[in-house]
């Protein structure tokens, strides 16, 4: 029997935490709250607008690096991102390894007018209704964390609530599974969540094989404009940036620099 991976360990904790929340707030109650929430924003339109879209992340910690930043006010950080030109704000809500919370999601949703992504390890339908109840317009589905029937079911449920799924892959086989499930937005994570090892050539290998109508998001390794331009040259429509922003010292300027580079005439444009 193979030993448990980092991803296995994270998901085990997530399942325990979801069960604990559901014991307090039932699925029926979460569904009702989701139905009462304001309608989700149009994420696809935001990501398809001209230029390379920047998805800026509220990220306190990671399994690979530990504590990254002391974010006392996630709403203030989100407003700085929005002011810098971010198209979407990503909020980590996983508690044990990333030190995120649904409270962070609530604070961010209340503070910005652009779409908000719930970034977590979604393994139960409960979490999808929970995301909508807390104002998410988009959520993350990780192919490596889900069997195919679950991936397809969770994606369908996400879209049935009007949200958009960012379907994350790390290999060509996972990209095929994402397409089979009906993904419209595919994120390529250079980090293997099973081992935490990074393969920076991952995006350049996978993106060319995706259909032209798929929105392609590069998810790891962006620390400056050079990285954004490299991903754009490989076919990225958007980049998701967390650590590089929260450790920058000036998140608004860091986002603005990326946005400016992504909008510059010399920036490679995805072939469509």
Residue 52 — φ and ψ, nearest 5°?
A: -80, 120
- Does 59 participate in catalysis according to the annotation? yes
Strand partners of residue 226: none
Q: Which of 31, 57, 184, 243 is catalytic?
A: 57
- Does 184 participate in catalysis according to the annotation? no
Query: How are the residues of the chain apportioned to helix, strand and coil, as percentages rounded to the nearest 5?
Result: 45, 15, 40
Q: Which of 94, 130, 219, 243 is catalytic?
A: 219
- Does 243 participate in catalysis according to the annotation? no
Place of tokens 């964390």: 145
Determine the Cα–Cα distance for residues 117 and 90; give it in Å rounded to an integer: 4
Determine the Cα–Cα distance for residues 139 and 98; give it in Å rounded to an integer: 16
- Does 42 participate in catalysis according to the annotation? no
- Does 160 participate in catalysis according to the annotation? no
**Strand positions, DSSP E, 18-78:** 53-58, 61-62, 66-67
Determine the Cα–Cα distance for residues 167 and 162; give it in Å rounded to an integer: 16
Helix (H/G/I), strand (E/B), else coil: 235:
coil
- Does 57 participate in catalysis according to the annotation? yes
Please give the distance of CA 39 from its chain centroid, rounded to a whole number: 19
Q: Which of 119, 130, 174, 243 is catalytic?
A: 119
- Does 220 participate in catalysis according to the annotation? yes
Q: Which of 168, 174, 184, 243 is catalytic?
A: 168
By the 8 A CB rule, do 123 and 129 touch?
Answer: no
Residue 148 — φ and ψ, nearest 5°?
A: -60, -45
Q: Which of 31, 59, 94, 243 is catalytic?
A: 59
Place of tokens 């393994």: 123
Determine the Cα–Cα distance for residues 100 and 106; give it in Å rounded to an integer: 11
Measured between alpha carbons, how far apart are the two ends of the chain, in Å?
45
Q: Which of 130, 184, 220, 243 is catalytic?
A: 220
Determine the Cα–Cα distance for residues 229 and 97; give it in Å rounded to an integer: 30
Q: Which residues are catalytic?
A: 57, 59, 119, 168, 189, 219-220
């Amino acid at each position: 029997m193979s030993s448990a991976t980092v991803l296995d360990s994270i998901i085990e904790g997530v399942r325990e935490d979801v069960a604990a929340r559901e014991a307090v707030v039932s699925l029926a109650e979460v569904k009702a709250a989701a139905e009462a929430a304001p309608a989700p924003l149009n994420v696809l339109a935001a990501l398809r607008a001209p230029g390379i879209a920047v998805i800026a992340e509220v990220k306190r910690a990671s399994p690979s690096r530990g504590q990254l930043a002391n974010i006392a006010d996630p709403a203030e950080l989100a407003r700085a991102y929005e002011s810098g030109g971010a198209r979407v704000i990503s909020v980590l809500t996983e508690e044990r390894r990333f030190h995120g919370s649904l409270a962070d999601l609530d604070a961010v949703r209340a503070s910005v007018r652009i779409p908000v992504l719930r970034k977590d390890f979604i393994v139960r339908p409960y979490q999808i209704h929970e995301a909508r109840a807390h104002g998410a317009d988009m959520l993350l589905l990780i192919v490596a964390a889900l069997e195919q029937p679950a991936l397809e079911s969770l994606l369908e449920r996400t879209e049935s609530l009007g949200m958009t799924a960012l379907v994350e892959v790390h290999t060509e086989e996972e990209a095929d599974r994402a397409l089979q499930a009906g993904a419209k937005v595919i994120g390529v994570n250079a980090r293997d969540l099973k081992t935490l090892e990074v393969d920076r050539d991952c995006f350049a290998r996978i993106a060319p094989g995706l259909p032209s109508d798929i929105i392609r998001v590069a998810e790891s390794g962006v620390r400056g404009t050079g990285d954004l331009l490299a991903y754009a040259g490989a076919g990225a429509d958007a980049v998701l940036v967390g650590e590089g922003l929260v450790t920058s010292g000036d998140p608004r300027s860091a986002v603005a620099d990326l946005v400016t580079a992504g909008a510059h005439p010399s920036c490679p444009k995805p072939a469509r």
